[in-house]
Amino acid sequence: MTLTLDNPINLGSLRLKNRLIMAPLQQYKGTIEAFPIDHHIEHYGRRAKHVGLVILESTAISPNGRLWKNDIGIFTDQHVELLKKITDAIHAHQTPAFIQLSHGGRKSSPEVTNSLVAPSAIAFDEHYGSPEPLSLAGIQTIVEEYRLAAKRAVAAGFDGIEIHAAHGFLIHQFLSPLSNVRSDDYGGNSENRARFLKEVLLAIRGEVGRQYPVTIRVSATDYCTGGLTPVELVRMLKTLESELDAIHVSTGGLLPIQPSDVHTGYQVPHAAAIKQHLNIPVIAVGKIYTRSLANRILEDQLADCIAIGSPLLADPDYAEYLLMHQEQASTTDNDS
């Protein structure tokens, strides 16, 4: 069978009506308390109709781990009440919603962070400043915050959780040897650097059970010699695969450097490399803006789902365009 965007797929126990996913897109409109506002309800409701899944923007599990001074959070019961309005708006279109759970670590917003923490005392840059290395007790506190966030995610009506382990935030900082030089059980070899992620994942699983969808977003490369590579990442993910329902493959963010060549579908080879070794669905993202390219990626089995970000920000109807208007969309394959 030739796969296309229109084909349903299961992420664990959850059936998606098609393979087009709204990528997590920070709105930078949260209040000082990290509450969502009416904008979020309207924004997500407006974009939910045609995609198979909406993944909400990065949402802080802790007041001390906010990525931005105006992001949203899920660290009190008041957050749950407000987030429920967003899931209701998405569900009104019979579309499921995942929440992306995040902690910024050394990249937490200096404007709203009391104490910057990370695996090791290595700064991202001068703006963020030097973080405090996490103590073992500090690590366990954050693992517990992830568990509580998962509990709140269920209460807020989310159909699944995406663990944000990409873009240089706390979990990625543990995974990469460039930001983790610990000499205890959380640093050194791959197994140790993946330990924090494993503990977060198992804490979430302990809360939500095995049937509830839990996926992960990773950065497959740090774009720097000595950083995380798809090969090492696969080794780490292999050991966690049985607890995960999909892997969403992005790149970069650990260091203040940009990839030199951001062309159409530039991250797809990384998704394909990871897919070769794992048996759970892989989501590709990054400048996949046409139906023909998306379908080619699915047909060639380079990935199982396609996420789109920027086009949906610019045009709330872009998903409909991709799914319904094959001919027009497929003529603009090289547009980016």
Ligand X SMILES: Cc1cc2nc3c(=O)[nH]c(=O)nc-3n(C[C@H](O)[C@H](O)[C@H](O)COP(=O)(O)O)c2cc1C
**Total residues belonging to the chain:** 336
For binding to ligand X (CB under 6 A), which residues are involved? 23-26, 57-58, 100, 164, 166-167, 217, 250, 285-287, 308-310
Contacts of 26 (CB under 8 A, 6+ apart): 57, 58, 67, 68, 71
Smallest gap from Cβ 98 to ligand X, in A, equals 11
- In the bound complex, what is the minimum distance in angstroms from residue 68's beta carbon to ligand X? 9
Q: How far apart are CA 6 and CA 323, in angstroms?
A: 7
Q: How far is the CB of 188 from ligand X (least distance, A)?
A: 27
Decide: 173 and 105 in contact? Cβ < 8 Å: yes
- CB nearer ligand X, residue 131 or residue 309: 309
Q: Least Å distance between CB 150 and ligand X?
A: 17
CB 221 within 8 A of CB 205: no
Task: Please say which residue, 187 or 288, places its beta carbon nearer to ligand X.
Answer: 288
Residue nearest to ligand X (CB): 309
3-state SS class at 163: strand
Tell me whether residue 25 or residue 82 sits nearer to ligand X (CB atom): 25
Block residue for tokens 């499921």:
96
Question: How is 3-45 classified by DSSP, letter by letter?
Answer: --TTS-EEETTEEESSSEEEPP---S---TT----HHHHHHHH
| Least Å from the CB of residue 23 to ligand X | 3
Q: Which residue's CB is nearer to ligand X, number 86 or number 308?
A: 308
- The runs of H, that is alpha helices, within 100-194 are 136-155, 170-175, 190-193
- Between residues 192 and 313, which has the closer beta carbon with respect to ligand X? 313
Closest approach of ligand X to the CB of residue 201, in Å = 17
Q: How far apart are CA 283 and CA 268, in angstroms?
A: 9
Q: Residue 110 or 259: which CB sits closer to ligand X?
A: 259
